[in-house]
């Protein structure tokens, strides 16, 4: 097999990488990553990684395209340093919505990035809640997809929510919301959302399910501009919903998201730390659940050749 394992981080989310390493009782490995004044990224591992099992932690977060390229360069450097095996640990995989050619002359960027990771030399990928499960199939190398449903449902279970309905923000998110509803033993509602063109404007149309007089626990995979959530909350209030809890796995919180979320007067907003959130994004009603335990345990299992699926039992 391989020599011992080592975990390194790019510049995207070092706090999460540190927490993952701590879960495994190790310090992070030493690597220099910086940008020259001409924006060219430089990477140099500062310790021997020959034949080691190397994990590179880098969610695709702002600046997204830099985060992606930086990970590719780290993989290339690790390959050339004779790493035994390289796992790209990508807690948030951006471009997930570009997963099919559903209009003329558009790219499938999620697939392009998968190709680039393989070309750079990644042997495996470890990620969490891809926008669509089919993205797994864009890779010809093994991919493990963790599920934030476990920490999120455990958190809400401890809250003993009664008179609540779990709400999917669109038909595509129905299974995700149903999985949570089943775990919490709550009913499910779905918003019939229509996107308008390729803009970031979303419009919620109809609510399918019973929400009148009930609290609503809205679940989405990611909140980007929060346009979807605003439309969902408006539609639910128009249908007589009482109060709102908002939850998502990946808090991208781009552009107007924070102002929009602040204006919603939600009881609570519950997210994970798959994406870093600076102080300006930490709303008073925000709860951040850690994903490092899942990633740490998964890395331990991958390294020792145990089942990762057993984590989901």
Structure-token pair, residue 172? 């595509």
Q: Which stretch binds ligand R5P (CB under 6 A): 84-92, 107-115, 181-189, 223-231?
A: 223-231
Distance between first and last Cα of the chain: 27
Q: Confirm if 269 and 244 have CB atoms less than 8 A apart.
A: no
Q: What is the closest distance, in whole angstroms, from the C-beta atom of residue 27 to ligand R5P in the complex?
A: 35
How far is 29 from 150, CA to CA, in rounded Å?
Answer: 29
Smallest gap from Cβ 245 to ligand R5P, in A, equals 16
Kindly state the smallest distance separating residue 43's Cβ from ligand R5P, in Å. 30
Q: Decide: 221 and 250 in contact? Cβ < 8 Å.
A: yes
Assess 135 for contact with ligand R5P (CB under 6 A): no
Nearest approach, Cβ of 106 to ligand R5P (angstroms)? Answer: 16
Binding to ligand R5P, residues 193-222 (CB under 6 A) = 200, 202, 220-222
Active-site hit among 30, 157, 193, 281:
193
| Catalytic annotation present for 193 | yes
By CB under 6 A, the count of residues binding ligand R5P is 15
Which range touches ligand R5P (CB under 6 A), out of 35-43, 160-168, 169-177, 273-281? 169-177
Does 198 sit behind a cis peptide bond, omega within 30 degrees of 0 on the bond before it?
no
Tokens read off for 268: 């609570």
DSSP conformation class of 83? B
Residue 227 binds to ligand R5P (criterion: CB under 6 A)? yes
Tell me if 76 sits within 8 A of 67, measured CB to CB. Answer: no
Helix (H, G, I), strand (E, B) or coil at 72: helix
Report whether 247 contacts 222 (CB < 8 A): no
266: contact with ligand R5P by CB under 6 A: no
- Looking at the Cβ atoms of 219 and 308, the one nearer to ligand R5P is 219
- Name the site residues for ligand R5P (rule: CB under 6 A): 169-170, 172-173, 200, 202, 220-228
Give the residue numbers marked as catalytic. 193
């Amino acid at each position: 097999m391989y020599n011992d394992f080592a975990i390194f981080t790019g510049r995207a989310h070092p706090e999460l990488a540190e927490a993952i390493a701590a879960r495994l009782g190790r310090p992070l490995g030493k690597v220099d990553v910086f940008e020259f004044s001409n924006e060219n990224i430089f990477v140099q591992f500062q310790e021997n990684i020959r034949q080691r099992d190397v994990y590179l932690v880098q969610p695709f977060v702002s600046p997204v395209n830099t985060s992606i390229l930086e990970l590719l360069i780290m993989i290339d450097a690790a390959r050339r340093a004779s790493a035994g095996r390289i796992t790209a640990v990508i807690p948030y995989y951006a471009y997930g919505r570009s997963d099919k050619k559903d209009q003329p002359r558009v790219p499938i960027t999620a697939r392009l990035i998968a190709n680039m990771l393989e070309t750079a030399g990644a042997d495996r990928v470890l990620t969490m809640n891809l926008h669509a499960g089919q993205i797994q199939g864009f890779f010809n190398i093994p991919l493990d997809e963790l599920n934030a449903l476990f920490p999120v449902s455990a958190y809400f279970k401890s809250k003993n929510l009664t008179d609540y309905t779990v709400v999917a923000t669109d038909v595509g998110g129905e299974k995700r919301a149903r999985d949570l509803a089943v775990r919490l033993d709550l009913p499910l509602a779905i918003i019939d959302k229509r996107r308008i063109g390729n803009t970031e404007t979303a419009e919620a149309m109809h609510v399918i399910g019973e929400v009148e007089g009930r609290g609503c626990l809205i679940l989405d995979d990611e909140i980007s501009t929060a346009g979807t959530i605003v439309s969902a909350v408006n539609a639910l209030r128009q249908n007589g919903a009482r109060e709102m809890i908002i939850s998502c796995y990946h808090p991208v919180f781009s552009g107007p998201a924070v102002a929009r979320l602040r204006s919603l007067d939600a009881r609570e907003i519950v997210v994970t730390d798959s994406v870093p959130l600076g102080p300006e994004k930490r709303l008073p009603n925000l709860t951040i659940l850690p994903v490092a335990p899942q990633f740490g345990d998964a890395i331990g299992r991958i390294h020792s050749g145990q089942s990762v699926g057993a984590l989901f039992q």
